[in-house]
Structure 1
């Protein structure tokens, strides 16, 4: 059926969701470029100021599934407003921090708000726009996610250089106030909840500790093995609890469907690959190619710009052709881009970096739009928050795993990137992206089985607990009502 035009309320509702994705994505990486300045400002070591980044990322990772499930129970719009309020207030506290401990604590609280925003933004798309426009909406959110994460370091460096470190947190205050007003004014109200919703507190606690142990294992190399053992035991205990609790945090029957499981796995693998470009690209350009700081910043902006301009067209392609055709093509493009980064000689100069990065950025925008749309298309109302949160969790675990695993690969091939000579940097980059290419091809193989799993995920009845995702392209499905939230 033809794409249904968006009315004014739907456009503003989608704008509010775009801001809700952009703000926490920016803060995932905006402080990275300023860690040396923050270390000087607080007279701290690099290991100490690293917790400015880690406190935020760890909080988001450990809470995202829990708050997604909570949104399904108390109302997603209501909880999103709370999350924006927490994020904005914590950002102001970060900017006013008198000491490093205060800043790290405020960043952890900011991560609570970010977890809510990440978990619920994708879930609210179906309430904001018709189903025939879901692909375009997911493309826009994918744009905001990719742009925020990749633009963070360069924007943070620019703000710190001209306005001081406080500015990277103060930026969120006016954006947060605007976002809260847009959500309150234009997103459809939550439906009334007639009965008290039970919440799996024990399972939530075990999951939080399990994810915290895994995330810390990826960041504290000296304790990696014992922390991984703790996370493995925690995962087993969590499964045991969820199989027996009356109202589980996550219905394990969700993972019995290969479409859902493979979509989450693809997200984890792809974000692991993308983390490679975020971490090692600046070292290759500055130390490997000897570019000036200004030129490095210009080259690094190419990927975010392509992601920003490519997300919405990518979503329209998904609306037109469906996720079945787009996901494998996007993964093939990602693998080819990584393969070029692994093979083109440094003698070709910056061109040998820009061309592959352009392929990677466009392919990533296509993948996110198609994968997210295909995953969320047929999820029932009462599970949309938790499935959206699982998608965000897979993304964050991929970023953490990518930083740790790809960092180890690079270190084995080249040594410390802050001290290695140009030739070693180039060798390390080629080796690391060779591994990234293999991961991308692995994802491509998984995607070929993802769309050959029978009928896909059917809608879940509240009584049976069985969830199935539909394989119907968004453009062929009937639009959801926009007025007062439909069946939410």
Structure 2
């Protein structure tokens, strides 16, 4: 069913914003949580990982459920669960209780993310999918930017509880908008056959794998960044939040232009351009020393991410049958969240290995951890670029030779 109301589009954008806010707002509080609960870095990592695992566990199922029962219903249910879980997070008496509540919050966010992207094909024509994907990318980046900046202020004024309680009124507002403006949709009939054709299987797998690798690199900035800015550079929580918001703020500004560039130049060219820019940003982060060098590298990295996301999402979603959009959107978000988990756990482990005992680490030790982490990230981007080249070759017909 076509979505004509601007209010409906606003509800989809707000859903995407809240899902990303749920990830980034917790990262800025990791040093405080480690101190409050007297926990080591691997323990407080689970505040982030639990949310991501909750999303990962059900996001494909949420997409399929939306295809069968109606995407509007599943979206509203996810928003309400997100709001309730945010309250439970805010009143959690222990680290284990907070981690459990974050799993529930992630379950709600899974429906929000899958349905927001799944409804894009019902919103605009195929020729404008890149533009709307860029808009949703902007909302995701804006939520990511709001997390560190707003979170830093909330943390300094009311403590870590406020980081999670802010999701309650926003989740209720988004659910009200979705109920008011999204039309009641009928479930699509089940379509026999495989999810995608054999001709698209290899390009789709490449797109999902690249999304995971790039997301891992971006997530490393939110796991390592707070420790480098606070322990390595000595920034106060509110200034740390503002510094961490620079990269996502750039993504919020470049998401829509990246989508338009994708519509104009095509997803293949923009994918390679984005990966090249990401590579440059990661290389600079592996050498950065000082606030301005760090922020400059972060800006470059995030510009590359905006270009890649708009192009890769468009390439994956453009030719999907209407009855399968929720499912494929779930797969795309699953790959992204697997990458976020990889960035939090694996790249976080690299940082912890290079800079042990982060609570008492010296600025030099934390800086070394930053450099080692993003040296590994460079390798991940190179691997993603190789996949992009192989994907282009797999869908490009060979030239006729005489």
The normalised TM-score by structure 1 is 0.73
1:237-252 aligned at under 5 Å gives the runs 251=195
Equivalent residue for 1:260, pick from 204, 208, 211: 204
Aligned partners of 2:141 and 2:249 also within 8 Å? no
Once the two structures are superposed, residues 431-465 of structure 1 have per-residue CA deviations (whole angstroms, 9 ceiling, x without a partner) of 22122112112211211222232379xxxxxxxxx
The answer for the alignment partner of 1:299 in structure 2 is 243
What CA distance in whole angstroms lies between the structure 1 residues aligned with 2:61 and 2:147? 26
**Distance in 2, Cα, partners of 1:151 & 1:448:** 35
- Alignment of 1:24 with 2:22, yes or no, is no
SS of structure 2 residue aligned to 1:419:
coil
CA distance in 2 between counterparts of 1:341 and 1:96 reads 37
Pairs within 5 Å for 1:389-408: 389-408=330-349
1:103 positional shift? 4.5
1:434 aligned residue: 375
Name the structure 2 match of 1:317.
261
Between the aligned partners of 1:449 and 1:271, the Cα distance in structure 2 is 20
Asked if the contact 2:282–2:297 (Cα under 8 Å) also holds between the matched residues in 1, the reply is yes
Q: Counterparts in 2 of 1:334-373, with a 5 A limit?
A: 334-344=278-288, 346=289, 349-373=290-314
Which of residues 150, 169, 173 is equivalent to 2:168? 173
Matches within 5 A, 1:420-431: 420-431=361-372
Contact 1:150 1:278 in 2 (8 A): no
Pick from 89, 92, 104 the counterpart of residue 94 of structure 1.
Answer: 89
CA distance in 2, matches of 1:293, 1:103: 21
Aligned to 1:159: 154
Once structures 1 and 2 are overlaid, which stretch shifts more, 167-176 or 64-73? Answer: 167-176
Kept in 1, the 8 Å contact 2:120–2:129? The answer is yes
Q: TM-score scaled by structure 2?
A: 0.87
Measure how far apart 1:352 and its partner are. Answer: 1.7
Matched-pair contact (CA < 8 Å) for 1:22–1:148? yes
Stretch of structure 1 that moved more, 391-400 or 419-428: 419-428
CA distance in 1, matches of 2:213, 2:141: 15
More helix by share: 2
Change in 2 beyond 3 A, CA 1:418/1:154: farther
Segments of 5+ residues of structure 1 without an aligned counterpart are: 1-6, 199-246, 457-488
C-alpha offsets along residues 266-293 of structure 1, whole Å, 9 cap, x if unaligned? 1001011112211222333333344454
Structure 1 or 2, whichever has the larger Rg, is 1
1:403 shift after superposition: 1.9
Report the Cα distance in structure 2 between the residues aligned to 1:370 and 1:79, rounded to whole angstroms: 27
CA drift at 1:325: 1.4
Q: Once the 2 structures are TM-superposed, how far is the Cα of residue 378 of structure 1 from its aligned partner?
A: 0.6
Question: 8 Å contact 1:10–1:128 — kept in the other structure?
Answer: no
- 1:33–1:156 contact (8 Å) kept in structure 2: yes
Deviation at 1:18, TM superposition (A): 0.9
Alignment partner, residue 79 of structure 1: 74
CA deviation after TM superposition for structure 1 residue 310, in Å:
1.2
The alignment covers a number of residue pairs equal to: 395
What is residue 184 of structure 2 aligned with on the other side? 189
Q: What does residue range 8-47 of structure 1 map to in structure 2 within 5 Å?
A: 9-35=4-30, 45=39
* Aligned residues of 2:149 and 2:245 also touching (Cα < 8 A): yes
Pairwise CA distance, 1:190 = 1.5
1:36 deviates by 6.0
- Closer/same/farther in 2, CA of residues 342 and 120 from structure 1, 3 Å limit: same
